[in-house]
């Protein structure tokens, strides 16, 4: 949880610094973010019993990622042991195949991955808030999301 918070704060700081009008010689500060994932590694999450929330994000979407911190906290607090959490950096070469497979229209993009049935469900952007995510995860857990 601390690592997730740290990465989100680094994204925010990088975004603010890279978009500051006071920087005369712009350095692409986002280049240093070479971490392929935050949370559980994708393959480990995929091979676990519990479903997981996958977020595909790019470092330059730092502001939007702040919406996911309360969501991550909710998943961690209210669904501990029932869901895993993984944020993949969509700009890292080793994640290209996954990014191509999911092919999101916009970043960040969130999905629930059902590890038992090897299926996924896209979570629309309008549900990127604690209340709706909690409702979706509860329904998914109870297997009533699609009924």
Quick: pLDDT tens for 105-137.
Answer: 998 899 999 999 999 999 998 988 888 988 999
Does the pLDDT of residue 78 top 80, yes or no?
A: yes
pLDDT at 91: 87
Q: For the residues of 13-54, what is the DSSP string, one character each? A: HHHHHHT-TT-SS---GGGG---SEEES-HHHHHTSSS-EEE
Domain assignments of the chain as residue spans, ordered by start: 2-20+29-141
Give the whole-number percent of the chain exceeding pLDDT 70.
Answer: 67
Pick among 3.40.50.300, 3.30.70.260, 3.40.30.10, 3.40.50.280: CATH of 2-20+29-141: 3.40.30.10
Find which of 19-23, 60-64, 135-139 is predicted with most confidence, using mean pLDDT.
135-139
């Amino acid at each position: 949880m601390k690592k997730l918070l740290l990465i989100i704060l680094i994204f925010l700081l990088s975004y603010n610094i890279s978009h500051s009008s006071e920087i005369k010689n712009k350095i692409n500060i986002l280049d240093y973010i070479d971490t392929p994932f935050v949370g559980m590694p994708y393959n480990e999450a995929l091979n676990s019993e519990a479903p997981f929330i996958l977020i595909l994000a790019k470092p330059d979407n730092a502001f939007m990622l702040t919406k996911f911190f309360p969501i991550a906290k909710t998943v961690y607090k209210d669904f501990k042991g029932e869901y895993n959490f993984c944020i993949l950096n969509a700009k890292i070469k080793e994640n290209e195949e996954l990014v191509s497979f999911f092919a999101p229209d916009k970043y960040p993009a969130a999905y629930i991955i059902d590890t038992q049935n090897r299926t996924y469900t896209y979570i629309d952007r309008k549900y990127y808030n604690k209340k709706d995510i909690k409702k979706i995860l509860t329904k998914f857990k109870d297997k009533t999301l699609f009924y």
